A and B are shown apart, each in its own frame.
Chain A
Amino acid sequence: MEFDLAFIWAGIIAFAVLAYVIMDGFDLGIGMLFPLLHDEGERDVAMNSVAPVWAGKETWLVLGGGGLMAAFPLAYATVLPALYAPITAMLIGLILRGVAFEFRWRANDKTLWDISFVAGSTIATLAQGIALGALVQGIEIAGRAYAGGWWDWLTPFTILCGVSLAIGYMLLGACWLVLKTEGELQARARRFAQRAGAGTLLLIGLVSLWTPFLQPSYLDRWFSWPSMAFSAVVPVLLLGCVWALYTGLRGAGHDSRPFLAALGIFVLCYAGIGISFYPHMVPPNLTIWQAAAPDSSLGFLLVGALVLIPMIIAYTAYAYWVFRGKIDPKASYH
């Protein structure tokens, strides 16, 4: 039986990026909510709710980048120059955010690294949203190289995507706090989540209405028969998640309901982008198979990926299990 290795690898990389987005998304969201928290005590609790599981998430981002170069070198070589400024900003944001986790507890005054944490989270998130938007609006390729200018990524649409992702991450972060905290902080997180939830839905609507008009193929995918029958599933499921989020934030069900609903919204939006893109890796012209490395490269790395990725998933799940439950603000975590 012949395996379509390029298709399998597109799936692996899509999975790695999704894993990164939903897992680091709520950390970055908490980073952006940081200034809205009342005092150092609340900030300590918020940071402690993600600190133990933060760093493993970066593995997925490196896997997304490294895997893309291995499996789709042409996509890697055209997308990254096209998104030069946002990618650079994202990397710098992640440095500022990442070191704050550790340095904050070593400094005499936490303020400097609180600022670093907030600024890094905000920069990284806006850059990720803008990069995604720039990819959706299409990347100009001539021959085997990026052919556009170095400001092409900056358009009203990409700005909208950056803001949307920021609000969306704040929703994830606030829902995570609802899950992990109690009392006054939890009540405040609920109010944050209600506002961020409303904002997220509004922005998803705007981006969804705008997207089909960026590329003719997107319009076909969503509004012509028979593909419409399949793609219509996404908005229907989305409505289900919105209902779960709404009721969850009003107190129904377990404290995990808003978070799971918000995750569902992210997964569905991601699936929606995937539906728009397929079969392209880099819209509008580069398909998965054009961008792929030869089968000898894909097969060589696939052997390792099939063994090691399940192990990574296992230890990640274990870490979340170990740190389940509410954060006790009085526990001397440090």
Chain B
Amino acid sequence: MLPDAIDLARMQFAFTVAAHIVFPAFTIGLASYLAVLEGLWLVTREQRYLTVFRYLKTPFAVVFGMGVVSGIVMSYQFGTNWSVFADKTGPVLGPLMGYEVLSAFFLEAGFLGIMLFGLDRVGPRLHFMATAMVAVGTLFSAFWILSVNSWMHTPAGYEMNAAGQFVPADWWAVVFNPSFPYRLVHMVLAAYLTTAFVVGGIGAWHLLRDPDQPAARTMFSMAMWMALLVAPAQIVAGDMHGLNTLEHQPAKVAAMEGHYDSHKGAPLILFGWPDDEAEETKYAIEIPHLGSLILMHEWDGEVKGLKAWPKEDRPPALIPFWSFRIMVGLGFAMVGLGLWSGWMRLRGRLYESPWLHRVAVAMAPSGFVAILAGWVTTEVGRQPWTVYGLLRTVDSASPLDAPAVGASLLAFVVVYFAVFGMGVFYVLRLLSRTPQPAAVDDEATPMHAAGLVPGPARKLEAD
């Protein structure tokens, strides 16, 4: 059977947004890291911080550029494929997205140029301010977009008008809707961890070749501090976000846990195969009472199962069940690497532990996978709604024929894989070079006063 227009539109949104989120997830964390590096350099005047800053600046620029072009696509997706959603929620969500464009794009576009301008032209203090503004811009961007997304999960502060549109009643309640603070903290920490694991992986990769490489040591050490401190904090933040979801979207939690029947003293299902037809999780391996303990923080707390909702109001269970486990598993693996590195640091062997470095290289992409898995969990778990409990996904789509949506989906898939595949290749090639103290390419970095993407940087010596 061929997929219908709505399924194709959902695939298209899932594909374009998943491809997009990878880039900002990295640049949000990296922008802050670059600001920290430059700040440390200004305070301590230690060369190694400047070396790492210059080393990571160019990959940042390339990734940022890919984030911009894939982001332009997102700003049109709501209208092309989800026009009913756009019409109904535009009065509430449109201004939030408008602020994202005006505040975040402005800060990023205005100051990225100066940041890439080169220290020599504007002086270290102004340059540091520019770097900090780029970091703030990426955080503003995350703020507004996550507010929009959270409102779709936990709508608040709205009224309905005669045309069936959501209209704002209380902007404060709209922006700071109930799930927003949790989602914002969880996502920003996730972006920071993602960057930390990439930076740690780069550092480890160069340490495997030369354990005395000073810039590689700096990158690896700083990243492992992040893993040690932030990964456990993220588990706490994730738990709080989960409890907030339980309060506002219990059906999503039931799907994530694979519970069809409601029970007191619910078990924790570790693994299994949720089957929505049979309404049971097959082959379940479970630990008695642990589910209630985790979710309700009570031995005999009652956990609602999916059967508590009519079938047409339930999310599918299989995907959120497994994507949630992937995310959580990677989260604990991150904590594990952080602890291992802490132990090695105590023993004074942080830079001479090839197995630690190999595992760190292997885990370099773990943040991206965890972020995608987490978003799949929360977005599939929101189904069958776009605006939770109020507007169904099937009622949100544009009146389009399947071939139109299918053809555009195919075009996006082909172009994204080709173009962003090459982009990722270029970034990896940049990162395979050993960081050099006086970055040779710096004098040749093009002037670039205002723009989202740096000017074409010079062709590499290594090529």
A positions within 8 Å CB-CB of B? 47-48, 51-56, 58-59, 61-63, 65-74, 76-81, 84-85, 87-88, 91-92, 94-96, 98-99, 101-108, 116, 144-147, 149-150, 293-294, 296-297, 300-301, 304-305, 308-309, 311-312, 315-316, 318-319, 322-323, 332-334
- Which one of B207-215, B268-276, B347-355, B452-460 is at the A interface? B452-460
Which applies to chain A's interface (DSSP): helix, strand, loop or mixed?
helix
Does the CB pair B450–A98 fall under 8 Å? no
Does the CB pair A71–B94 fall under 8 Å? yes
Which residues B61-109 have CB closer than 8 A to chain A? 61-62, 65-66, 68-73, 75-76, 78-80, 83-84, 86-95, 97-103, 105-106, 109
- B448 an interface residue at 8 Å Cβ cutoff? yes
- B113 an interface residue at 8 Å Cβ cutoff? yes
Count of inter-chain pairs, beta carbons less than 8 A: 274
- B446 an interface residue at 8 Å Cβ cutoff? yes
With a cutoff of 8 Å between Cβ atoms, the chain B residues found around residue A107 in the complex are 422, 426
Does the CB pair B76–A87 fall under 8 Å? yes
With A73-B94, A334-B457 as contacts: A103 and B404 at CB distance below 8 Å: no
Look across to chain B and name the residue whose beta carbon is closest to the beta carbon of A63. B101
Does the CB pair A80–B450 fall under 8 Å? no
With a cutoff of 8 Å between Cβ atoms, the chain B residues found around residue A52 in the complex are 446-449, 451, 455
B positions within 8 Å CB-CB of A? 61-62, 65-66, 68-73, 75-76, 78-80, 83-84, 86-95, 97-103, 105-106, 109-110, 113, 161, 163-165, 167-168, 171, 398-401, 404, 407-408, 411-412, 415, 419, 422-423, 426, 429-430, 444, 446-460, 463
Contact partner of A318 (CB less than 8 A), chosen from B92, B407, B450, B459, is B450
Q: Determine how close the nearest CB of chain A comes to the CB of B134; give it in whole angstroms.
A: 13
Which applies to chain B's interface (DSSP): helix, strand, loop or mixed?
helix
**Measured CA separation A78–B400 after assembly (Å):** 11
With a cutoff of 8 Å between Cβ atoms, the chain A residues found around residue B102 in the complex are 63, 304-305, 308-309, 312
**Measured CA separation A294–B444 after assembly (Å):** 51
With a cutoff of 8 Å between Cβ atoms, the chain A residues found around residue B95 in the complex are 70, 293, 297, 300-301
With a cutoff of 8 Å between Cβ atoms, the chain A residues found around residue B444 in the complex are 332, 334
Does the CB pair B167–A59 fall under 8 Å? no
**Measured CA separation A229–B185 after assembly (Å):** 60
Does the CB pair A87–B446 fall under 8 Å? no
Look across to chain B and name the residue whose beta carbon is closest to the beta carbon of A307. B102
With a cutoff of 8 Å between Cβ atoms, the chain B residues found around residue A55 in the complex are 65, 68, 109, 451-453
Does the CB pair A294–B167 fall under 8 Å? yes
Residue from A56, A101, A147, A296 having most chain B Cβ neighbours under 10 A = A56
With a cutoff of 8 Å between Cβ atoms, the chain B residues found around residue A308 in the complex are 102-103, 106
**Measured CA separation A296–B167 after assembly (Å):** 8
